[in-house]
Structure 1
C-alpha cells in the first residue's frame, strides 16, 4: 500500500469486501441474478418495511424539533463562524447532489404511472390524478430531505462544533464515546460506505438508462448493454475529472450549471404548455400533499390484502433515500459550516423540496394533461413500456423536440456527473477517517468502483438488481441513523446546559497581557502578516511548552492531563469523569488578506494565525501576540471558567454529556 494514501484500513478494505461479495452475485450467477436479487428485496421489505416507514417519520419529527427554539440557534461550528459558500451556491449544491438524476427519470414517469395504476383510486379518473400527484409529492417531499437533514446535521454539528473527524461514526460520540475509534465505529462507517456506493449505483444506473434512451430516441443509438457500458465509461471519466478538481471548483460549477439548465427546461415547458393550469394545479397539489401527509407517513396498508404498490414505490423510495443519506448528508455537512441549525434544517427541508414540488407539477400535471387530450393514452402506454423513455415521449408533444431532447440528455448527464463526483469525494472522506485532503488516486479509485458496481448490477439484473442492492444496504444504516438522531439530541442538550450554566455563573475574564511590550508586538503583527512557517514555529516554540507546563502541573496535583499534537495543532486535554473534558487547543488557521489591486486579486495571499480551539464551540481568538507566560495565564483563566461551569447545577443535570476531544 503506497505510503501517500490516507485511508482507514478496516473501513477501506471492509467496505470493498462487502461490495465485491454482493456484486459477485451478478458475475457468478448472471442467469439467476435477477431472481436472487428479487428474493432478497422481497424478504427484507416483508420483514422490515414497517421499520423504514416508522424511521422516516421519526427523522422528519426530529428535524423539525431541532430547528425550533434554542436548538435552532446553535451554530454548526464555533459561535463566531461564518458560512463558507454564498446562499445560492449552497442551495444549488445540496439540490443537485441530492436528486438530480431522479427528478429527470421520474418527473413524467411516476405521475403517469400512478395515474394509470393508483394505490386506491379508480385508474385514469379525476381521483387518480389527485392521488398520483399527492403520492409523487409525498415521495419527493420533505420526508426525503428530513433523512438527509438529520444525517448532515449530525455530521456538521459534531464535526465543526466538537471538532471530531467528519465521518459517520463521529455523530455517535455521545453514545459510544471512545469506542467510536474501535470495531463499532469501523462497522458504522462501513455501513455508510456500502450504503452510499449502492445508493449511487442505483442513481447511476438510472442515468445510463435514460441517457441511452434519449440517444436512441434522438439519434437511433441502440439501447444495448454495450452502449450502456460505453456511456458509463464516458460519464465516469467526466465525473472523475470533476472530482479531482475538488468541491470548491468541480462540484460547485456542475451544481450551478445543473440548476440553470434545469430551470431553463422547466420554464420552457411552462411557456409552451398549459401555463395557467400548471399554477392552478400546483396550489391544489400542495393542499393535497399537506392534507394526506400524516396518514401517508404511517400508512403501510396493514389492514386488508397485501399491496405490492407500497413495496414497489414508497418503501423502495425510503430505502433509496436512506442509502443516499451518508452521501448527501456528508456532502451538505461539508458545505454547511457556519450555518445555524435552524437555517440548515429549514433550507435543507424546504428549499430543494419546494423546487422539486414545482418541477413535478410542471412535468407531471402537463404529462397527464397531454395524455388525456392530444396523446389520447399514447404517452401513458409509452411510459408503461419503458419508463426511461417517458421524458422524451413527453417532449414529443411540445415544440422544438430535437432541441429539448438534447437539452434533457445534457441535463441528465450533468446530474449524473454531479452525483458521481460528489459521491466519490464523500466516500473517500469516510473511508479515510474524515480526512478531506486525500490523494487524487483515492478519489479516482472510488469513482471507478462506483461505476463498476453500477455496471455489474445493471447488466446482471437491470433496475430490479439496482433496487435490491439499495434496499439491502439501507437496512443497517436505518438503525445507525436512528442512533444519530438520539446522539444529536444528547449533544445539543449538553451544549444548551453549558450555555445556561455560563450565563448563571460569574465568568472569569480572559487573561490580560502581562507585558508592557505586548502592544508593540500586536502592532508588529498588524504591519507584518505572519507566514505559515512563523505561526508553526510559534506554536512549537511558545504554545506547546506552555501547555506542557500546565499539563505537568495538573497531573502532579492529581488531575491527569496530556498534550496532543496533530497537523499543526496542539491541545491540552484533561479528562474528567462524569462531566465534559477540558480542552484548550491552538490551531494554525489561514485567512485571505484583502486585495487592493487587480494584481493582488490575481495572486491572493493568506494571513496565518495561531487561534484557540475549544471543542464546545466557544469563540476562538488569535494568541500570536502572547508570550509563553500569557498563554499559561489564558489557559488557567479558561480552566477556571470550565470548573465553574461543570460544577453548576445545570451542567450536572447532563453529567452524561459527551466528553470533548481534540480533532483537527
Structure 2
C-alpha cells in the first residue's frame, strides 16, 4: 500500500521462476514505454519544427531531444513522489491538450459548415460537381488523353504557368476592373518547387473575398511509368487553391480560355456560397456581421453582380 509500484513485482514473486518472470515483465514494460515515448517524441518533434512536405517527419535530433526530456521528467516525478505524483502531473499536463482538442473540433466544425455552404451554393448555381467535391474544368478528349500518361517536369510546368496561366488571370483581372469589381493579381513565391504561384483576389465589401490561387505542387509519379525520365520519382501539378484549400484538379495542358472559364465557374460558385450562407444561421462562422447602434447583430446581404452579368449567367444555363 505504501509503494504501489512494487505491487506487480510482489505478485510475480509468488509464482515459480520469479526471477525470470520479473525480468520478462520489466522488459515488456520497457518496450511498452519506449514505444509510447517514441511515438510521443515524433509527434512533438513534428509540432515543434517546420516540415516542408507532409510525408516527412521532424528532425531526428529533435525527436531524441524530446525523448530524453520526457524520460528526465518521468524519472524526476518518480523520485519526487512516486506513481501518485506522476498521475497528478499527467492530469495537469493533459489540460492544455484538452483545450487544443476543443479548438481543433471548433475549427473542424467551421470547415464542415463552409463545405456545406459551398456545396449548396454550387447547387444553387446549377453547376455539376465532381465526386471529390471539386468542379474540374472541361477538357477535350485529346487533352484528356494527353494528360493520362504525361508527367511534366519543373521546366514545363514553369513555362505553362508563365505563358498560359498568368496571362489568362491577368485578362480576368483587367475585365473585372472594367466592370467595377476591385480585383488584384499577386505573385506568390514557392520555395519548395521554385515555381511562383499566382493569387487572384476579388474584394467583396462586407463579405468573404473571392480567392483563386494557382500553385505548383509535387506529386509522386505512378509506378507504371510515364513519358518523363525516371531520374526522378515526382512531377508537378498545377492545382487550384481557394480559401478552403486545394480543389484537387490539375490545370496543366489547358488553354487560356479554359483557365478563364474555370475562374468564372469558381466565382459563380463563390457567389452561390455567399447567397446560401447569408440565408442560414451561420453568421458568426461563415460571413462577417455588423453590430448596429442598438447592439443587434445583422448579417450583410450578398453583393449582387451587375444586371448584365446576371442575364449572361441565366442565358448560358448549366454546362454539361
* TM class by smaller structure: 0.5 to 0.7
After superposition, the Cα gap between the structure-2 partners of 1:573 and 1:459, relative to the gap in structure 1 and judged at 3 Å, is farther
Report whether the alignment pairs 1:530 with 2:152.
Answer: yes
Q: How does 1:85-164 map to 2 (within 5 A)?
A: none
Larger strand fraction of residues: 2
Q: Out of 64, 67, 74, which is 1:454 matched to? A: 74
Offset at residue 654 of structure 1 (A): 2.2
**2:228 alignment counterpart:** none
* Distance in 2 separating the partners of 1:392 and 1:562: 70
**2:295 alignment counterpart:** none
> Between Structure 1 and Structure 2, whose CA radius of gyration is higher?
2
**1:411 alignment counterpart:** 28
**1:501 alignment counterpart:** 121
Offset at residue 406 of structure 1 (A): 4.7
**2:165 alignment counterpart:** 543
Work out whether residues 546 and 632 of structure 1, in 8 Å CA contact, stay in contact via their aligned partners in 2. Answer: yes
After superposition, the Cα gap between the structure-2 partners of 1:572 and 1:453, relative to the gap in structure 1 and judged at 3 Å, is farther
* Distance in 1 separating the partners of 2:68 and 2:174: 50
Q: Over aligned residues, Cα RMSD in angstroms? A: 4.0
Cα-to-partner distance string for 1:265-294 (whole Å, 9 max, x where unaligned):
xxxxxxxxxxxxxxxxxxxxxxxxxxxxxx
Work out whether residues 611 and 620 of structure 1, in 8 Å CA contact, stay in contact via their aligned partners in 2. Answer: yes
Work out whether residues 277 and 286 of structure 2, in 8 Å CA contact, stay in contact via their aligned partners in 1. Answer: no
Partner SS, residue 621 of structure 1: strand
Work out whether residues 164 and 256 of structure 2, in 8 Å CA contact, stay in contact via their aligned partners in 1. Answer: yes
Q: Out of 417, 422, 436, which is 2:39 matched to? A: 422
Q: How does 1:232-271 map to 2 (within 5 A)?
A: none
* Distance in 1 separating the partners of 2:41 and 2:106: 28
Report whether the alignment pairs 1:590 with 2:219.
Answer: yes
In the comparison of the two structures, how many residue pairs are matched?
266
Give 5+ residue unaligned stretches, structure 2: 129-134, 226-230, 288-320
After superposition, the Cα gap between the structure-2 partners of 1:643 and 1:592, relative to the gap in structure 1 and judged at 3 Å, is same
* Distance in 2 separating the partners of 1:450 and 1:575: 49
Cα-to-partner distance string for 1:469-507 (whole Å, 9 max, x where unaligned):
434444455445444444443442333233233334412
**2:258 alignment counterpart:** 630
Q: How does 1:126-205 map to 2 (within 5 A)?
A: none
Offset at residue 543 of structure 1 (A): 3.5
Give 5+ residue unaligned stretches, structure 1: 1-383, 597-602, 660-664
Larger helix fraction of residues: 1
After superposition, the Cα gap between the structure-2 partners of 1:577 and 1:440, relative to the gap in structure 1 and judged at 3 Å, is farther
Q: What is the TM-score normalised by the length of structure 1?
A: 0.34
Offset at residue 553 of structure 1 (A): 5.2
Partner SS, residue 493 of structure 1: helix
Cα-to-partner distance string for 1:229-283 (whole Å, 9 max, x where unaligned):
xxxxxxxxxxxxxxxxxxxxxxxxxxxxxxxxxxxxxxxxxxxxxxxxxxxxxxx
* Distance in 2 separating the partners of 1:404 and 1:562: 70
After superposition, the Cα gap between the structure-2 partners of 1:403 and 1:478, relative to the gap in structure 1 and judged at 3 Å, is same
Does 1 or 2 have the higher relative contact order (CA < 8 Å, sep 6+)? 1
Report whether the alignment pairs 1:646 with 2:274.
Answer: yes
Offset at residue 626 of structure 1 (A): 1.1
Q: What is the TM-score normalised by the length of structure 2?
A: 0.62
